A and B are shown apart, each in its own frame.
Chain A
Amino acid sequence: MRIRLGLIMIGLLSWATTPALAAGEITEFTLENGMQAVVIEDHRSPAVVHMVWYRVGAADEPPGQSGIAHFLEHLMFKGTDDLEPGEFSSTVEANGGTDNAFTSWDYTGYIQRVAADRLGLLMEMEADRMRDLVLDPAIVATERSVILEERAQRTDSSPGALFQEQMRASLYLAHPYRIPIIGWRHEMETLTREMALDFYQRFYAPNNAVLIVAGDVEPDEVRALAEEHYGPIEPTPGLGPRVRPSEPPQIADRRVIYEDPTVASPYVSIARLAPGREPSDQAEAAALTLLAEVLGGGQTSLLNRVLQTEEQTSLYTAAFYNGLNYDGGSFTLVNVPVPGRSLEEAEADLERMVARFLNEGIDPAQFERVKFLYAASEIYAADNSSGLARRYGVALTAGLDVADVADWPDVIAATTIDDVMSAAERLFSDSHTVTGYLTTPSEEIQ
């Protein structure tokens, strides 16, 4: 049984281990105003997914305005000079479509899915709200209440989510990845219409956007529609490369202990910074991706096999690698011990497994299985064009290009056991860690 402990993963790694896709025709072009576009053809059904991704997220917020990127995402549905509040979504729905939006540290994205012959309508509306947002102060105030309720639901009511938030704030000493996407509550309460509009006017521009269209479309047709609707929009001048505060050398290990009486399954988590996927340089990230799999991925991984099955001292174990960010990556180990086993013991179990891994190496049969799974996942991924579209959106807003995404399966395939072992040596010897305990107040802490 694969146990359900979803909270452990929140905000850490949604896209960490998804490989890129080889199947499906990919076409790339850039409009004269700087808007980049990717078309993914899937002619099995007459639907289309239309996405605009902005290269801006929670890690690009002005100091003291945590949550403004996400707040603006909500406000983007509140009307323009041409659309009434809510009219964007109701127009999509009247055409049988669905729409949504999402914010992360490196990106903010808007997505709709409709019948392919409605693509032009979507572009017309999305282009309109790229520059012509109109915000009523009363609506802004009500929506601020909505995002506070969202924070209450997703974070404040969940000890696991609060713990993750604290872990992240400790893992990054200076980089704004330490800030929660939703925002710190005390700062969210002070977010204003003007802050949202300042952020919008600077960052929502064609030269800071990626258009992704996936489905039953022809690239020429998409290009013509994009030129018609997005082409006339003026870029924001002087938008340079994204430069965020960077991490100083990390010279100390840190510990985070978060206690809450409603924690049902206490666990330990050990996080560290790691290299990420870099343009034309993805070999280290590929090795770390496979490392996470053989160490704590599937049921035959070392952590799972030894701690869950053989020793039966853990309810759940995992290794996560997050390598798809604009700035670097992270690597995290998790161990949920069986009742009666302490978090100190669980922590020691993780350290022992890492030592054993570095000593014993990788079973070649296991390594072959993991690589075959990766190759097969490309076949399964072709079944979901929305997923493919997201894959490109995440990669391009993380600073990679289309060729990097296309190359990724080959980079994985070319990775050897020796590559993984040397990456593991570097990872576990060079880095300082944040070790976190999520526990109840009654749990003994040494």
Chain B
Amino acid sequence: MIRHFFAALAFVATPAWAQVQIEEVTSPGGITAWLVEDHSIPFVALDIRFQGGTALDEDGARGATYLMTGLLEEGAGDLDAQAFAAREEELAARFSWDAYRDSVVINAEMLTETRAASVDLLRAAIVTPRFDEDAVERVRGQVLSIIAGDAQDPSEIAPDRFAALAYGDHPYASSGTGTEQSVAGLTRDDIVAAHAQLFTQARVFVGAAGDITAEELGVLLDDLLGDLPESGGQELSAAPWELSGGLTVVDFPTPQAVVFFGHPGIERDDPDFFSAFLLNQILGGGNFRSRLQQEVRVERGLTYGIGTVLSLADHRPMLMGQFSSSNNLVAEAVEVIRAEWADIAENGVSEAELEAAKLFLTGAYPLRFDGNATIAGIMAGMQQDGMPIDYIATRNANVMAVTVEDVARVAAELMQPDDLHFVVVGQPEGL
């Protein structure tokens, strides 16, 4: 059940490993996957993702995809929920199921010695889930408790309110978990429909890494996904952007305010993408060197941590960030962020900052390929983002080619201090 807004959208720089050979495998039935073969540990990791995610929920059935995803392991084929769980344990297979805005992601790790039976079990969950009435009610209860918990959690309220303000009537405007009312009203038919429209061959991307050959993977793909319909379901249009610059306070009793901030971002296929990527790294890219971390945490002690990301959400990219700061400090933190935003927009970044960011990004890149599960996820993500299989070979050169002039030009376009909106959940002083 990982589905934090921030984590789900975080830009992962689709890493790869110079020595790692990615092979495109096409099954006899025509399903493709990317494979990194490595026989040193006797298991395989699969990342199977269906593009569309919770944003595909039909009107009036908000939360159907999320609930459907939670039910996949709760009975499938001729196994009820307990029998399914016992079988998964017996095989020592590890399945996980996550529903995000733009995709439903299934991770599977399977021992070589139990792989055939593990594939059968996973196939049942994906192709023939039962959605038994008692399981539906039980998981509905769990989802309702998550919704109730989120409603009391400032770090959930902040991005949710931001989305509600920004995205008009697009599905992005509300949480994929649904609301208490919408989830209470979901029928089994809604769940079946959510499954039918999302789980198609046209929507699926697969990454595989570990102890499996290309030939074996081809057979596995047909076994696992060959019975899914070829295509179906709706396609979404871009989300609108209805939020202007400013600050919204959501009154909430907590000693420390949670702040979510951002404005529109940049598409991955934009020719300036790499410049924007370097820009974000210097602004708030998740380490101590970033401008915001230096100014807000290290210099002033106003927060435990702050970061920004270029979100590459399918229907509206964003430049956004989040942090927490005590109610009596948060106003100063917001002021510092606004000042940094304006400074970079006007002056760009220094040669030294850019050089340090390049050293880090290019040096860290090969180190990210760390283990079968990670590699499988990276490859599925690359396909989902429409990246070429040879991206890895050119990525560091693209990073190195960015100049301070490029960053300054892109900063002037991308970073708009007047459009920057903050949602502050708490009881901030002086805001």
Residues of A within 8 A of B (CB): 1-4, 23, 44-47, 77, 86, 89-90, 93-98, 113-115, 141-150, 152-154, 156-157, 261-265, 298-300, 305, 308-309, 312, 315-316, 336, 338-339, 365-366, 369-370, 372-373, 375-377, 379-380, 382-384, 386
Inter-subunit contact B137/A312 (CB<8 Å): yes
Inter-subunit contact B86/A300 (CB<8 Å): yes
B81 interface contact, C-beta 8 A: yes
What 1/0 mask marks residues of chain B from 95 to 110 whose CB sits below 8 Å from any chain A CB? 0110000000000010
Given A95-B359, A309-B82: A265 touches B148 (CB 8 Å cut-off) = yes
In the complex, chain B residues 226-264 whose Cβ is within 8 Å of any chain A Cβ: 253-256, 258
Inter-subunit contact A152/B324 (CB<8 Å): yes
CB-nearest residue of chain A to B288: A89
Across the interface, A94 reaches (CB within 8 A) one of B254, B356, B371, namely B356
Once bound together, how far apart are the Cα atoms of A152 and B255, in whole Å?
7
Once bound together, how far apart are the Cα atoms of A77 and B294, in whole Å?
13
Inter-subunit contact B289/A90 (CB<8 Å): yes
> Which residue, of A86, A115, A152, A375, has the highest number of chain B Cβ atoms within 10 A?
A152
Inter-subunit contact A3/B298 (CB<8 Å): no
Across the interface, A86 reaches (CB within 8 A) one of B298, B361, B373, namely B298
Query: Chain A's nearest CB lies how many Å from the CB of B176?
Result: 14
Q: List 25 A-B contacts (CB under 8 A).
A: A1-B142, A1-B143, A2-B96, A45-B17, A90-B289, A96-B362, A97-B367, A146-B301, A146-B303, A149-B302, A149-B324, A150-B304, A157-B154, A262-B152, A262-B254, A264-B149, A264-B153, A299-B81, A336-B145, A338-B141, A369-B86, A369-B89, A372-B92, A383-B41, A384-B371
Interface size class of B (residues with CB under 8 A): 35 or more
Once bound together, how far apart are the Cα atoms of A46 and B90, in whole Å?
35
Inter-subunit contact B139/A1 (CB<8 Å): yes
Q: A90-B288, A264-B153, A380-B43 are in contact. List 8 more A-B contacts (CB 8 A).
A: A2-B1, A2-B96, A44-B40, A47-B367, A89-B287, A300-B89, A315-B141, A339-B141
Q: List, in ascending order, chain B residues with CB within 8 A of A339's CB.
A: 141, 144-145
Inter-subunit contact A156/B255 (CB<8 Å): yes
Inter-subunit contact B287/A153 (CB<8 Å): no
Q: List, in ascending order, chain B residues with CB within 8 A of A2's CB.
A: 1, 96
CB-nearest residue of chain B to A146: B301
In the complex, chain B residues 28-48 whose Cβ is within 8 Å of any chain A Cβ: 38, 40-43, 45
B360 interface contact, C-beta 8 A: yes
Inter-subunit contact A299/B85 (CB<8 Å): yes
B372 interface contact, C-beta 8 A: yes
Once bound together, how far apart are the Cα atoms of A214 and B256, in whole Å?
38
Q: List, in ascending order, chain A residues with CB within 8 A of B153's CB.
A: 264
Query: Chain A's nearest CB lies how many Å from the CB of B107?
Result: 12
Given A90-B288, A97-B363, A312-B137: A153 touches B304 (CB 8 Å cut-off) = yes
Inter-subunit contact B298/A142 (CB<8 Å): yes
Given A3-B142, A146-B297: A95 touches B363 (CB 8 Å cut-off) = yes
Inter-subunit contact B299/A153 (CB<8 Å): no
B71 interface contact, C-beta 8 A: yes
Once bound together, how far apart are the Cα atoms of A416 and B430, in whole Å?
63
Inter-subunit contact B371/A383 (CB<8 Å): yes
B188 interface contact, C-beta 8 A: no
Across the interface, B70 reaches (CB within 8 A) one of A1, A143, A265, A336, namely A1
Query: Chain A's nearest CB lies how many Å from the CB of B431?
Result: 17
Q: List, in ascending order, chain A residues with CB within 8 A of B362's CB.
A: 96
Q: List, in ascending order, chain B residues with CB within 8 A of A384's CB.
A: 370-371
Query: Chain A's nearest CB lies how many Å from the CB of B21?
Result: 13
Across the interface, B360 reaches (CB within 8 A) one of A94, A265, A383, namely A94
Once bound together, how far apart are the Cα atoms of A153 and B158, in whole Å?
14
Q: List, in ascending order, chain A residues with CB within 8 A of B361's CB.
A: 96
What 1/0 mask marks residues of chain B from 136 to 164 whose CB sits below 8 Å from any chain A CB? 01110111111011011110000000000
Query: Chain B's nearest CB lies how many Å from the CB of A81?
Result: 20
Inter-subunit contact B302/A145 (CB<8 Å): yes
Inter-subunit contact B41/A379 (CB<8 Å): yes
CB-nearest residue of chain A to B297: A146
Once bound together, how far apart are the Cα atoms of A389 and B99, in whole Å?
32
Inter-subunit contact A142/B299 (CB<8 Å): yes
Across the interface, A45 reaches (CB within 8 A) one of B154, B302, B325, B369, namely B369
Inter-subunit contact A376/B92 (CB<8 Å): yes
Query: Chain A's nearest CB lies how many Å from the CB of B9?
Result: 18
Inter-subunit contact A96/B138 (CB<8 Å): no
Once bound together, how far apart are the Cα atoms of A238 and B9, in whole Å?
52
CB-nearest residue of chain A to B43: A379
Q: List, in ascending order, chain B residues with CB within 8 A of A141's CB.
A: 301
Inter-subunit contact B134/A152 (CB<8 Å): no
Residues of B within 8 A of A (CB): 1-2, 17, 19, 38, 40-43, 45, 69-71, 73-74, 81-82, 85-86, 89-90, 92, 94, 96-97, 109, 111, 134, 137-139, 141-146, 148-149, 151-154, 253-256, 258, 287-289, 297-304, 324-326, 329, 356, 359-367, 369-373
Inter-subunit contact A300/B41 (CB<8 Å): no
Q: List, in ascending order, chain B residues with CB within 8 A of A370's CB.
A: 89
Once bound together, how far apart are the Cα atoms of A147 and B142, in whole Å?
34
Inter-subunit contact B364/A157 (CB<8 Å): no
Inter-subunit contact B82/A264 (CB<8 Å): no
Inter-subunit contact A152/B90 (CB<8 Å): no
Q: List, in ascending order, chain A residues with CB within 8 A of B1's CB.
A: 1-4
Once bound together, how far apart are the Cα atoms of A262 and B251, in whole Å?
13
Once bound together, how far apart are the Cα atoms of A380 and B73, in whole Å?
21
Across the interface, A261 reaches (CB within 8 A) one of B2, B151, B253, namely B253
Given A149-B302, A336-B145: A299 touches B82 (CB 8 Å cut-off) = yes
Q: List, in ascending order, chain A residues with CB within 8 A of B325's CB.
A: 149
Inter-subunit contact A1/B253 (CB<8 Å): no
Q: List, in ascending order, chain A residues with CB within 8 A of B329's CB.
A: 149
CB-nearest residue of chain B to A152: B256
Inter-subunit contact B141/A300 (CB<8 Å): no
Inter-subunit contact B324/A157 (CB<8 Å): yes
CB-nearest residue of chain A to B139: A1
Once bound together, how far apart are the Cα atoms of A113 and B364, in whole Å?
9
Once bound together, how far apart are the Cα atoms of A383 and B38, in whole Å?
11
CB-nearest residue of chain A to B303: A149
Q: List, in ascending order, chain B residues with CB within 8 A of A77's CB.
A: 288
> Which residue, of A89, A90, A149, A265, has the highest number of chain B Cβ atoms within 10 A?
A149
Q: List, in ascending order, chain B residues with CB within 8 A of A365's CB.
A: 86
Q: List, in ascending order, chain A residues with CB within 8 A of B43's CB.
A: 379-380, 383
Q: List, in ascending order, chain B residues with CB within 8 A of A146's CB.
A: 297, 301, 303-304
Inter-subunit contact B324/A265 (CB<8 Å): no
Once bound together, how far apart are the Cα atoms of A308 and B255, in whole Å?
35
Across the interface, B146 reaches (CB within 8 A) one of A4, A114, A375, A383, namely A4
Given A98-B364, A115-B367: A149 touches B301 (CB 8 Å cut-off) = yes
Across the interface, A372 reaches (CB within 8 A) one of B41, B90, B152, namely B90
Once bound together, how far apart are the Cα atoms of A265 and B151, in whole Å?
11
Once bound together, how far apart are the Cα atoms of A336 and B84, in whole Å?
23
Across the interface, A96 reaches (CB within 8 A) one of B82, B298, B359, namely B359
Query: Chain A's nearest CB lies how many Å from the CB of B345?
Result: 25
Inter-subunit contact A264/B151 (CB<8 Å): yes
Once bound together, how far apart are the Cα atoms of A142 and B17, in whole Å?
39
Q: List, in ascending order, chain A residues with CB within 8 A of B69's CB.
A: 1
Given A1-B74, A146-B304, A372-B92: A115 touches B366 (CB 8 Å cut-off) = yes
Q: List, in ascending order, chain A residues with CB within 8 A of B367's CB.
A: 45, 47, 96-97, 113-115
Inter-subunit contact A312/B138 (CB<8 Å): yes
Once bound together, how far apart are the Cα atoms of A384 and B373, in whole Å?
9
Inter-subunit contact B300/A300 (CB<8 Å): no
CB-nearest residue of chain B to A299: B85
